[in-house]
Structure 1
Amino acid sequence: MAQRPPLLRRVAAALPGLALLLIFPAWPGNGAPSCGVDTPCRIATGEYRIRVPEGWNERTPLGAIVFLHGWRGSARTELRNPAWTQLANQLNVAVVLPEGKDGTWSYPGAPDALRDDFAFFEDLVSDLTRRFPIRREHLMAAGFSIGGSMVWNLACHRGELFSGYAPVAGAFWEPVPESCPSPVPDLYHVHGTEDRTVPLTGRPIGERWHQSTVADSLAVWQRKAGLPVVFPKTAPAQGLGCQRQETGDAVLEVCLHAGGHSLRAAWIARAWRALVHDLQQDRQNDTQDAP
């Protein structure tokens, strides 16, 4: 059975970006310009914006959710949504909004190849670790629609960058990878059974591109983890119906709802709480296994 290494070894081996963010308007002494909601944090390959919880004392470390917008979205538009302010305050986390190139994301099988988005997210996390004080825990990548598909690809190809992944209504595009080079992640996926934009069964986009069946995307990780290749068949009339599989160090969870192509902040909050809980369990297991 494929498993991730215990949490402490994963953190030690990760790139500097695996982090719990402590975000200041400007960190004294490093010469970094102020950035946040109104002013983007600019890096060589793009930019991102940050919202912190109201009343934060600028000293206490914060967890962070990096959220990837959907097609033709933008970080600036997303931050106008009061749901992100509520989420930051409710969870006491920073919300980081990366800016897609021309409103989209580039990954294997995507319709656009506008920039190397794997390099962009490496740069983004590297910039965070340089620009702001960092604790090496609790950094989650989440995304909606094509942003969710980018999240699946980050988990596959750059799994060391984040502690967990929470895609909504987006999965791999064809060709689905035969295997992923990254360890099996903590992944919390949400999808609507009536989604017609990104159907559970996939769909062609023109003559050249094809969204994959979500079950085929999940099967990549299930096979790597040695788990049964199964997928939930129905959703409850209200709320989420979830299938959860564990490897010992990683969690694969797929939750279905009876709606269409939609996003709720509550689903991101649920994934965050699950990730924090699962990482705490990892730490407890590491302590018990230590000589």
Structure 2
Amino acid sequence: MRLLGVVLALSVLCGAVPALACGPDTDCQLGDRHYRIAMPEGQVSGPVGAVVFAHGYRGSAAAVMLNKSLRRVVSDMGLALIALKSADDDWVIPYAPRHMDSDGSEEFRYVEAVIEDVSARFPIDTKRLMAAGFSAGGMMVWNLACTMPERFAGFAAIAGTFWMKPPETCATPAASLVHIHGTADPTVPLAGRPILETHQGDVAEALDMYQALGRFSPSGEMAFEDLKCQSRRNPKGEVLDSCLHPGGHTFRSSYLRFAWELLHAAGQL
């Protein structure tokens, strides 16, 4: 009987594992979608803030987790890294190739579901989330900033903006956003380029739209590594910074630390 009790106890414990058995190396299933998460090393209690990261074209949550530099930088900041996975090879957002008629709602519902699910499974502080992404992931970030600004404390878009043009309207109030881009980027040029039946958007147009939406005004310049930034602030102290570097289609993990610390210093995180 004692042995039977031990076996039953173990079976109960093992049965409880699958609900939480996900992380950096295993998908966190969410219906027919998934995400991955890496908690900061040494984290024994929470809640902790998180970087919610959107991959580039044909990327994956698994590939994001293989980026050791990204994992280390985010962990060293005491944050979780949450890696999203697009519904298709690319994010299904307005005017994206092969998704010209999409309103993006499929992806926005997914991101909302990820936030709800991850905060139920892990000690995540949903008040301290920064959405970030590179290339096509940067395009996803701009769409998130426009559609669900209240769900994130700030946004960091790297080498990506809206497809075609900024939307006619965005959700208000405007959020804090840092845009980082290479002046010699041939893949996503600052002014965009045609791809299939669509065209990448113009970064300057997106920044102008968001500046007007959030009533941002120029507040000076700053530099970090190879970045030169034009800073804007609004009456609420929110951030709209555009940072350029002389390189091409480049991602550095340190850019995320820079964006997080900039938003933190402004009291947004």
TM range (shorter): 0.7 to 0.9
For residue 138 of structure 1, give the secondary structure of its aligned residue in structure 2: strand
The structural deviation recorded for 1:151 is 0.3
Amino acid at match of 2:19: A
Match of 2:43 among 56, 60, 82: 56
- Residue by residue, what CA displacement relative to the aligned partner does 1:3-27 show, whole Å, maximum 9, x if unpaired? xxxxxxxxxxxxxxxxxxxxxxx9x
1:178 aligns with 2:154: no
- Residue by residue, what CA displacement relative to the aligned partner does 1:179-226 show, whole Å, maximum 9, x if unpaired? 3123211101100000011101111112x2011110001111111123
CA contact (8 A) 2:154 2:175 kept: yes
The structural deviation recorded for 1:32 is 2.9
The structural deviation recorded for 1:135 is 3.1
CA contact (8 A) 1:169 1:190 kept: yes
In the superposition, the TM-score normalised over structure 1's length comes to 0.78
Amino acid at match of 1:86: R
- Rounded to whole Å, the distance in 2 between the matches of 1:276 and 1:227 is 18
Match of 2:260 among 272, 276, 281: 272
Aligned to 2:250: 262
The structural deviation recorded for 1:109 is 1.2
Aligned to 2:210: 221
- State how 1:186-265 maps to structure 2 within 5 Å: 186-206=176-196, 208-227=197-216, 239-249=226-236, 250-265=238-253
The structural deviation recorded for 1:229 is 8.9
CA RMSD of aligned residues (A): 2.7
Amino acid at match of 1:179: T
For residue 279 of structure 1, give the secondary structure of its aligned residue in structure 2: coil
- Rounded to whole Å, the distance in 2 between the matches of 1:254 and 1:135 is 27
CA contact (8 A) 2:165 2:205 kept: no
- Rounded to whole Å, the distance in 2 between the matches of 1:133 and 1:107 is 30
- Rounded to whole Å, the distance in 1 between the matches of 2:179 and 2:125 is 26
Match of 1:39 among 26, 45, 59: 26
- Rounded to whole Å, the distance in 2 between the matches of 1:34 and 1:256 is 40
For residue 47 of structure 2, give the secondary structure of its aligned residue in structure 1: coil
The structural deviation recorded for 1:88 is 2.8
Return closer, same or farther for 1:134/1:78 CA change in 2, 3 Å cut-off: closer
Aligned to 2:53: 67
Amino acid at match of 2:40: P
The structural deviation recorded for 1:153 is 0.2
Return closer, same or farther for 1:227/1:161 CA change in 2, 3 Å cut-off: closer
More deviation in 37-46 or 247-256? Answer: 37-46
- Rounded to whole Å, the distance in 1 between the matches of 2:91 and 2:120 is 24
1:156 aligns with 2:139: no
- State how 1:68-217 maps to structure 2 within 5 Å: 68-113=54-99, 116-206=106-196, 208-217=197-206
CA contact (8 A) 1:51 1:88 kept: no
CA contact (8 A) 1:223 1:229 kept: no
Amino acid at match of 2:35: Y
- Consecutive unaligned residues in structure 2, runs of 5 or more: 1-12
- Residue by residue, what CA displacement relative to the aligned partner does 1:37-88 show, whole Å, maximum 9, x if unpaired? 111111125111011222222x132110011110011111121111122113
Amino acid at match of 1:85: R
The structural deviation recorded for 1:244 is 0.8
- Rounded to whole Å, the distance in 2 between the matches of 1:168 and 1:271 is 10
Aligned residues between the structures: 250
Query: Which fold has the larger relative contact order, with Cα–Cα distance below 8 Å and residues 6 or more apart in sequence?
Result: 1
- Rounded to whole Å, the distance in 1 between the matches of 2:218 and 2:211 is 6
CA contact (8 A) 1:70 1:144 kept: yes
Return closer, same or farther for 1:103/1:191 CA change in 2, 3 Å cut-off: same
The structural deviation recorded for 1:31 is 8.1
